[in-house]
Amino acid sequence: MLVDILVYAIYFIVGAVMGSFTAAVAYRVCRGISIVSPPSRCDRCERRLRWFENIPIVSFIIQGGKCRTCGAKIGVLGFLAEVITAVLYLLVAIVFFKQGIALSIVLCLTLSVLITIALSDIYTMYISNIFMYIFLFLGVCVVLLQPIDLLSNVIGVAIGGGLLLLVYGVGYLIKKREVMGLADIKLMAVAGLMLGWKGVLFALFVGIIFACVVLGIKRVVEIVSSRKTAKQNDSEDKEHIKDVELENKEYPFAPYLVVGIIAAIFVGDLVFNLYLSLFI
């Protein structure tokens, strides 16, 4: 029992550290900034942060989410990345550690890459191919560290990438523009390789439902807000222009797919098999 607690504590702490690192990587790589230099600093006053200001989770809470010097707000996404990654690493330790240390480590690294991909899309609406290559490598490692069902993995690639490619094609024919990024298609193709056809179907279902709920609410709020502003200015033309802008507005989709993939890693096959058992 004591050993288990120690293992869980180690995974949680390492997860918090990796969360801080992945947030920094996502922020810098997509902006063409070196991940080594310059050292961590405040974006507003550019003061270099001391070591005690870089303690994952703890420093953000103690400082109230603000720079100690100028009082500028620290981005909450980095803090959330630290907390979420720490919790996910802990869950990996609980669920997968007894299946093998190697598998648990590879899964932890995979989760970190997925979070980096999600953050990159949120920050810049762009996902570097280097993240996809790393995800592919780790996905292959996950497959090799478990009992292999090659047919399921191949079908998973076809379903994960194929369904989104179909949506991409149909959307382009209707809208005459891209309705999603090619990176989203690559992401789900690799996820299909790693998860198999059951897991990737579950991931797509969770990701799409989550996106519909969140983006649906966000869209309603934006429409109500824009029309309220237009009415206050007594301008019907501005209201129409705002509606057109919102119609063509793009949103990052990868974060929702990442949520689905992470859910599938932990409970995908279990939930899918339980669902099938209702009809068999």
Q: Write out pLDDT tens, residues 55-92.
A: 889 888 988 888 777 877 878 898 999 999 999 999 99
**Least confident span in 173-182, 222-231, 237-246:** 237-246
Instruction: Give the contacts of 278 (CB within 8 A, at least 6 positions apart).
Output: none
What is the residue-averaged pLDDT of the chain?
Answer: 85
Region 128-133: mean pLDDT is: 92
CA 272 – CA 280 distance, rounded (Å) = 12
Select from 63, 72, 78, 61 the least CA-distant residue to 27: 78
pLDDT at 13: 96
Assess contact for 40 and 48: CB atoms under 8 A.
yes
> Any alpha helices (H) in 176-279, and if so which ranges?
182-232, 236-248, 254-277
* Selected residue with higher pLDDT from 11 and 271: 11
Question: Residues 218-239: what's their mean pLDDT?
Answer: 68
User: In this model, does residue 229 exceed pLDDT 70?
Assistant: no
The C-alpha angle 147, 148, 151, rounded to 5 degrees, equals: 145
- Backbone φ and ψ of 48, nearest 5°: -65, 135
Using the predicted structure, report yes or no on whether residue 240 has a pLDDT greater than 60. Answer: no
